[in-house]
Structure 1
Amino acid sequence: MKFGITYSTPSFGADPERLAAFARHAEECGFESLYLPEHVALYPGVRIGPMELPPSLPYADPLECLSFAAAVTRRILLGTGVLLLPYHHPVVLAKRLATVDVLSGGRMRLLTVGVGALPGEAKAAGVDFATRGRRADEAIDVLRLLWAGGEEGVSFDGEFYAFDDACVFPKPVGVRELPVHVGGSSAAAARRAGRRGNGWFPGGMLPPDERRRQLELVRTTAAEAGRDPDAVQYTRWGSLGMSTKDVEVLAAQGVTRIVVTPTTAEPGRAHEEMAAFAERFTLA
């Protein structure tokens, strides 16, 4: 089992010293990966399910933060949980992601994308909310095409994106394309993971029966697309308080990675929680 940890800028803020200390401590503890979330734009009264989000929450740009964290670490992998793919132009994003990968020495390897759940956020980004799933599918294809393309250039003619003979350099380090994991809590996300994803990272609030149905949908969709279902990594949310038995249960369900979040925003206590978890699971 691999273990990642989230640095939640809405809870912890975007203070550079705090982010740097968190990233270094996570690496010293032995965590495999560091994740950051994304919201592009909030607005008064916005809700995710029953929870209202204060519009002043400091959702810092995850890729900028990960690049900063990479500069003060050497080993820990970089991930997003999740990057809202329809709100980024994939040509620009391909360049940004490859650049972070190069600057980090090949550690931008846990990109997890979602489609977003807030209509007002889509509107602020200039995206028709109803099209965001199709945009995400097309954007994944564009990213991979551009990363794999050479000096002769590549072309694309889709519903949302079109270009001719485009060359995007630098390239990811030592790989043809960066892995793309798919996050979300819907059947559509599960199908996207099966058809296009290197991994599936479902939402944390799914009921167990629905989670099982969606996992099976990932696997059957992958097989129908001619892909190996066993090659699709399965990531789940967890907690720093989970026991070895909890992890064994998830492993039996096919989970390959668990991403945890500190229960406190107080830096000292959060670091203590991380160290205790690392000792319990012998991460270092």
Structure 2
Amino acid sequence: MRFAISYSTPYYGVDADRLVAYAQHAEKCGFEALYLPEHIALYPGAKVGNLELPPTLPYGDPLDCLSFVAAATERILLGTGVLLLPYHHPVTLAKRLATIDVLSKGRMRLLTVGIGALPGEAEAVGVDFRTRGRRADEAIQVMRSLWAGGEEGVSFDGEFFSFDKLVSFPKPFEATGLPIHIGGSSRAAARRVGRYGDGYFAGGALPADERAAQLDLARSTAAEAGRDPKGLEYTRWGSMDMSAERVEDFAVQGVTRIVVGATATDPEEQRKEMSAFAERFGLLPAR
């Protein structure tokens, strides 16, 4: 089992010193990766499910924040949980992601994308909310083609994006592409995992049988698409106080990575939580 940690800019704020200290301590503790969330724009009354999001929450741009983290760390992988893919142009996004990966020497490897849940956010960036799933599917194909393409260029002709013999450099660090994980809690998300994803970051509050059904659907869809279902990673949210028994239960369910987040708001208490978790699960480097 691999363990990663999230940093919530909406609740911790976009403070350079605090972000760097959090990331450096997570790296010191042995966490695999640092994840950041995204919302591009909020508005009064915006809700995700039953949760209302105060419009003044300071969501920092996750890729800008991760670039900042990369410059101050050496090993920890960089992740998003989740990047709202339909609200980004994939040609621009492919360039940004490859650049971060090159500058971090191959650490932009836990990109997780979602399709968004706020109609007003889609409207703000000029995207038809009803098409966001199809846009996301095309965007994944566009980015992968640009990363893999050579100096002769690549072409694409889709519903939302079209270009002819486009060339995009730099390429990801010592790779022909970047892994793309799919976030979500629906069967549509599970099917997207099977068709296009390298892993499933399953969210939401779902019963165990629905969780299992979605993972099975992701794997069966991958097999139908001629992809290796065994190659799909499975990430789930955990908690700082989770027990070894709970981790074992996750492993039985096929989970390969658990992402936790600090519960304290005080930076010193957050570092204590990280250290305690790392010691409990043997993440701390041997001395």
Name the residue aligned to 1:227. Answer: 227
Name the residue aligned to 2:192. Answer: 192
Q: Is 1:146 paired with 2:146?
A: yes
Task: Calculate the aligned-residue CA RMSD, in Å.
Answer: 0.7
Name the residue aligned to 1:32. Answer: 32
Post-superposition CA distance 1:28-54 (Å, at most 9, x none): 000000000000110001111111110
Give the C-alpha shift of residue 259 in structure 1.
0.4
Amino acid at match of 1:237: W
Name the residue aligned to 1:45. Answer: 45
Maintained 8 Å contact 2:38/2:83: yes
Counting only pairs closer than 5 Å after superposition, residues 194-213 of structure 1 correspond to structure 2 as: 194-213=194-213
> What is the alpha-carbon distance in structure 2 between the residues aligned to residue 154 and residue 31 of structure 1?
37
Give the C-alpha shift of residue 212 in structure 1.
1.1
Amino acid at match of 2:228: D
> What is the alpha-carbon distance in structure 2 between the residues aligned to residue 52 and residue 178 of structure 1?
33
Maintained 8 Å contact 2:184/2:204: no
Maintained 8 Å contact 2:110/2:181: yes
Post-superposition CA distance 1:13-34 (Å, at most 9, x none): 1000000000000000000000
Counting only pairs closer than 5 Å after superposition, residues 136-175 of structure 1 correspond to structure 2 as: 136-175=136-175
Maintained 8 Å contact 1:204/1:236: no
Q: Is 1:256 paired with 2:246?
A: no
Give the C-alpha shift of residue 207 in structure 1.
2.0
> What is the alpha-carbon distance in structure 2 between the residues aligned to residue 77 and residue 204 of structure 1?
24
Q: TM (normalized to structure 1)?
A: 0.99
Name the residue aligned to 2:98. Answer: 98
> What is the alpha-carbon distance in structure 1 between the residues aligned to residue 202 and residue 40 of structure 2?
20
Secondary structure of 1:248's counterpart equals helix
Counting only pairs closer than 5 Å after superposition, residues 51-66 of structure 1 correspond to structure 2 as: 51-66=51-66
For structure 2, the residue ranges without an aligned partner over 5 or more in a row are none
Give the C-alpha shift of residue 178 in structure 1.
0.2
> What is the alpha-carbon distance in structure 2 between the residues aligned to residue 207 and residue 10 of structure 1?
28
Maintained 8 Å contact 1:204/1:237: no
Q: How many residues align?
A: 284
> What is the alpha-carbon distance in structure 1 between the residues aligned to residue 202 and residue 159 of structure 2?
27
> What is the alpha-carbon distance in structure 1 between the residues aligned to residue 204 and residue 76 of structure 2?
23
Amino acid at match of 2:41: A
Counting only pairs closer than 5 Å after superposition, residues 114-129 of structure 1 correspond to structure 2 as: 114-129=114-129
Name the residue aligned to 2:71. Answer: 71
Post-superposition CA distance 1:153-208 (Å, at most 9, x none): 11100000001111111000111100000000111100000111000011142222
Maintained 8 Å contact 1:190/1:215: yes
Post-superposition CA distance 1:57-110 (Å, at most 9, x none): 000000000000000000000000000000000000000000000111110000
> What is the alpha-carbon distance in structure 1 between the residues aligned to residue 182 and residue 85 of structure 2?
10
Segments ≥4 residues shifted beyond 2 Å: none
Give the C-alpha shift of residue 229 in structure 1.
0.8
Amino acid at match of 2:172: P
Q: TM (normalized to structure 2)?
A: 0.98
Amino acid at match of 1:178: L
Secondary structure of 2:169's counterpart equals coil
Amino acid at match of 1:206: L
Q: Percent identity?
A: 70
> What is the alpha-carbon distance in structure 1 between the residues aligned to residue 108 and residue 245 of structure 2?
31
> What is the alpha-carbon distance in structure 2 between the residues aligned to residue 264 and residue 126 of structure 1?
37
